[in-house]
Amino acid sequence: MRTVTFTDFRKRASGFITEVEHGETLILLRRGKPVAEVIPFSDEALREPSWKKPRTMLQIKGRDLSAAILEEREADL
């Protein structure tokens, strides 16, 4: 990972993009603060996020929690 000032990036963008093509990650700084991260392109970013992929559902033996709560509420009345 390499840090580069925004001004330097503008002056030598072509060379920095070549570095990114070869796997380098750049952090762009403006007034000493990071403002952007330039990373190599990956087809994985276009794929479905992992949290949207189907997963195995957990099966728990016993009563349904919502049914137990409703039953307890009715008992209190």
Residue 45 makes CB contacts below 8 A (sequence gap 6+) with none
**Residue 11 located in a structural domain:** yes
Predicted confidence (pLDDT) per residue in 4-20, tens digit: 999 999 999 999 999 99
How many structural domains compose the chain? 1
- At residue 1, the 3 state secondary structure works out as coil
Strand order in the sheet with 26-30: 2-5, 26-30, 33-38
Residues 6+ apart with CB under 8 A from 27: 1, 2, 3, 4, 34, 36, 37, 38
pLDDT confidence band for 45 (50 / 70 / 90): low
> Does 7 reside within a domain?
yes
* pTM passes above 0.85: no
Q: Does the pLDDT of residue 70 top 80, yes or no?
A: yes
pLDDT at residue number 66: 84
Q: Which amino acid is at 27?
A: I
Percent of the chain with pLDDT over 70: 96
CATH number of residue 19's parent domain:
3.40.1620.10
Domain limits at 20? Answer: 1-42
The CA distance from 21 to 13, in Å, is 12
